[in-house]
Chains A and B, each alone.
Chain A
Amino acid sequence: MSRKTRLDPDMRAASGYVLALGAVSTALAVRLMLIGLLAYQGPFLPFVLAVMITATFGGRGPGLLATTISLLAVWYFFLPIANSFVLKNPADVMNLVTFFVVGSGITLLSDRMREALRVATRTEETNRALLESASQGIVSTSGDGRIINVNAMAERMFGYTREELIGKPLVTLLPETRQTARAATAAGSEVQHTHLLMDRVGQRRDGSSFPVEVNLSSAHTADGTASIAFVTDISERKQAEEAMRNQANMLNLAHDPIFAWQPGGRIYYWNRGATALYGFTPEEAMGRISHELLKSVLPFPEKELESRLEAEGSWIGEIVHTAKDGSSVIVESRMILYTGPKGDRTVLETNRDITGRKAAAEEIRLLNEDLERRVRVRTAELQAANTELEAFAYSVSHDLRAPLRGIDGWSMALLEDYEGQLDERALGYLHRVRGEAQRLGGLIDDLLQLSRVTRMQIRSQAVDVSALAGQLADRLRELHPGRRLQFTIQPSLSAKGDPRLVEVVLTNLLENAVKFTGTRPEGVIEVGGSEDGAARIFFVRDNGVGFDMAYASSLFGVFQRLHKASEFPGTGIGLATVQRIVHRHGGRTWAESADGQGATFYFALPV
């Protein structure tokens, strides 16, 4: 169907009438030229031809026009009397009428035929276009099984051109259709069969094959079974199915239990993880109601679950399940409500076994509880012990000293009031009683101080050690007016500590230095210090009797004395107090000496 002949309607109508005039003119000219040969015999024949041509190609209107003009032309030119509209023979009237009827008839018949042809052409065009545009490949065969037509999709699908395929048997494309066709033939009596052939193989021109689904319709004809095959390439669908199968396999491999159930709880998927955790095989689990099978204990009534899923689309929480062997399993569950393309609903439940984790957490909680309880008990015990110690120290402070004062006081009274009546020995004994009482008093004081520094709350601040040592040195010089004492104090020594306690430390060390230099003509005492990164180290050095380093480790113990009381009186508590204070500040103490060559006592306090 070429576009060139398709003129617009006005042009086409006009050209029809031009054709009518042309055809009739031609017929007239030819007939006039033959006038010598034919005279006036059979004048109508060329005009009938002109009308036929005009009607065939020009249609109804031009055909009728040609008929009319032809009738007038014959009447005027060829019927006697010629060259006038006067008719000589009455029979010619009949001839003219007959011509008009025949011309009109030809015109009308021709028009009908044109119309029918046009409709047929258009129908076939439409059919062809539809077939060409179909998304399925369409292959039609004649009765002998040979291909008579294919559409564009079939060409593309199989890699052939239409011309190559026409005349080839259908099995070239669909090797498996042979049996089907035969079976269809055997089935016989029915005129038409339609077979849906699923999962078949299509064969391309290059020899490769691909999965197809074929809808094959066959009909018995005179020369065998003709058929038309609608072929769908299902490669993509197959791949999607394969992918889904792989995914299902992967789900099955997952360690976590995964299963799916329909609304109402009926299980229809159950992976290996679920079998491993709960002990039910897929056969035992499929078709059962999930919460009945696993005796689910949710944080809320079980029947609320589906409405929650409906509202939220998913749910995450802890569930207690019961496995096949009756043991309890705690899982962290994730459920997702999935609505399929057809509105079918599925809940996918993925669980994680947290029984062990919960048990461990519970154990930790219990251990912590126990620990806290024990700490509370210990703290209470410690507090009780501290309270007791305080009460003890208070009692010592008050009650032990009072009788001592009495012993001393009444010995004194005896000495004062009865001095004349007592001999020297009695007076000596009384002095000893007083001496012992005062020594015990000193001991009690030292013990109280040790106890106090142990209990005292430390309030750290910067302490000017040099200034403090200077004051203490002055006090010691006053206390020992008969001694020659030389103090050398390094300036700008400072420590971080409780000033009350640092004073106790320095007092003890300096008193010791004064005491143990008592046998020297001059006591030379040095106070110094240095910094060692995290700590400041202080020392008190003397030129006294020193001590044997073999006993250095017991130097700071309570009641540990390295010298005879007759030589150097003391309670053996002073250095213990020093060490206790330094330890409470997070520091340490040590000492160096060689017997007879003085001693150096060190203490280090954190910066």
Chain B
Amino acid sequence: MSNNEILLVEDNPSDIDLTMRAFTKSRILNKVILAEDGQEALDYIFGTGPHTGRDPANFPALTLLDLKLPKVSGLEVLRRIRADERTRRMPIVVLTSSTEEQDRADGYDHGVNSYIRKPVDFKQFVAVLEQLGMYWLLLNEAPPRHTESS
């Protein structure tokens, strides 16, 4: 059973709406799950809180993760995902405004699959999301999901 969802972890309402608009513009029609802080993201991914019962192994096809988040930071979310063997192979792209070297280094050290800087120019932003969707949702072969028996 495959999961085609996109998990968008983003707290800025303007960025959320622009991202949704960009998905529409680039004809990405997958279901988008929104988490507006780090804790919401963790609850969804690990099936806790309001999402009790969800199988963590059934992770979204693509997660777009901002680093600067309320409650639990993007890096911490990333660390916990990579620490759990059910979600270890989950494709995660950091999508952030920061180009700080330290953030990039930390992102890759925590095992992010890709690190994308949000351009100020909306045209470029749409182009970036289009390429992201094309690559991760169509071109890239999804990782095998972890099962209890395997």
Contact = CB atoms under 8 A, between A and B. Distances in A.
Is this pair of chains taken from one and the same complex? yes
Interface stretch (B10-18, B29-37, B47-55, B131-139): B10-18
A452 B120 contact: no
B141 interface: no
Given A398-B67, A411-B122, A412-B122, 6 more contacts: A399-B68, A401-B118, A408-B122, A409-B18, A409-B125, A456-B101
A456 B120 CA distance: 25
Interface in B88-129: 96-101, 118-123, 125
A410 B97 contact: no
Interface in A417-475: 434, 437-438, 441, 448, 452, 456
B121 A410 contact: no
Nearest to A442: B120
Contacts of A452: 100-101
A556 to B, nearest CB: 24
Contact of A405 (B15, B98, B100): B15
A413 B98 contact: no
A403 interface: yes
Interface of chain B, helix or strand or loop or mixed?
loop
Nearest to B25: A416
B21 interface: yes
Contact of B21 (A399, A403, A413, A448): A413
A452 B21 CA distance: 33
Contacts, number: 62
Given A408-B120, A409-B125, A437-B120, A401 B14 contact: no
A401 B120 CA distance: 7
Interface size class of A (residues with CB under 8 A): 20 to 34
Interface in A4-55: none
A441 B101 CA distance: 18
A438 B101 contact: no
Contacts of B15: 402, 405-406
Contacts of B101: 452, 456
Closest A-B pairs by Cβ, 7 of them: A441-B120, A406-B14, A409-B122, A412-B122, A409-B18, A401-B97, A398-B97
Interface of A: 393-394, 397-399, 401-406, 408-413, 434, 437-438, 441, 448, 452, 456
B21 A405 contact: no
A405 B99 contact: no
Contacts of B125: 405, 409
Nearest to A411: B122
Given A413-B21, A452-B101, A405 B120 contact: yes
Nearest to B22: A409
Contact of B100 (A397, A402, A410, A413): A397
A412 B121 CA distance: 9
A406 B100 contact: no
Contacts of B21: 409, 413
A398 B98 contact: yes
Given A413-B21, A452-B101, A405 B122 contact: yes
A397 B97 contact: yes
B122 A404 contact: no
A406 B68 CA distance: 17
